Chain A
Amino acid sequence: AQTVTQSQPEMSVQEAETVTLSCTYDTSESDYYLFWYKQPPSRQMILVIRQEAYKQQNATENRFSVNFQKAAKSFSLKISDSQLGDAAMYFCAYRKNYGGSQGNLIFGKGTKLSVKP
């Protein structure tokens, strides 16, 4: 069975600094997607960034980037120039690629990120 592990229950970063959130996963599949979701107090899960396993290039979205190490099954999120609005729970998630949107997301337990002014 696939699993996702986030080993940092809480992280803290100074505003404008950089922080890296860790995630490891276990799967025997070769075709899958990895995601980072942000969950603010409003409770809605918001997609931060997505990585297709078959792509070697690390995904980036503005201040957010990932370090995808497929062999090591590691998928870390780097947030640059941290802003107060980045404070939230961050979840790493895995989904096998069945084609289409079949299949479910498997989430880690989350990392609570605090941003200090």
Chain B
Amino acid sequence: DAGVTQSPTHLIKTRGQQVTLRCSPKSGHDTVSWYQQALGQGPQFIFQYYEEEERQRGNFPDRFSGHQFPNYSSELNVNALLLGDSALYLCASSRQARSYGYTFGSGTRLTVV
């Protein structure tokens, strides 16, 4: 039973560019949440997707957008990259009907230069 898969593992981008990160949820999970973890900090919630719609959003600018596909996989897009966007991006999947049981991926390390 595969867990949460994120790709790519590492990524280096230039300021001003755009990036797309991908997440495949754990089998049986229908909800995907994205978190940003800056170095030395705890993860911060970006947004959550369920039934291909953004259900909840944290305090992140519109440069951060996402998408969920019919197979429950998800993408996180960041436009006009800033140096401050350098972080570990974590994807967590869950079942909407359950109150707990988040499974996290190993993240994508994004470096903006």
Contact = CB atoms under 8 A, between A and B. Distances in A.
B93 to A, nearest CB: 9
Given A105-B43, A108-B42, A97 B99 contact: yes
User: B interface, how many residues as a size bin?
Assistant: 20 to 34
B100 A33 contact: yes
B24 interface: no
B103 to A, nearest CB: 8
Interface string B89-109: 010101111111110111101
A101 B72 CA distance: 15
B56 interface: yes
Interface string B27-55: 00001010100001111110010100001
A45 B101 CA distance: 12
B76 interface: no
B94 A101 contact: yes
Given A45-B43, A107-B43, A100 B96 contact: yes
Contact of A45 (B50, B58, B96, B104): B104
Interface in A64-117: 91, 93, 95, 97, 99-110
A43 B45 contact: no
Contacts of A28: none
15 contacts: A33-B99, A35-B100, A43-B106, A44-B105, A44-B107, A45-B102, A45-B104, A47-B102, A91-B42, A91-B43, A101-B94, A101-B99, A101-B100, A101-B102, A105-B33
Given A101-B101, A107-B44, A110-B40, 7 more contacts: A33-B99, A45-B92, A45-B102, A101-B99, A101-B100, A104-B48, A105-B35
Interface of B: 31, 33, 35, 40-45, 48, 50, 55-56, 58, 88, 90, 92, 94-102, 104-107, 109
Minimum-distance CB pairs A-B, first 9: A107-B42, A104-B45, A45-B104, A101-B94, A44-B106, A43-B107, A43-B106, A100-B96, A109-B42
Interface of A: 4, 33, 35, 37, 42-47, 50, 91, 93, 95, 97, 99-110
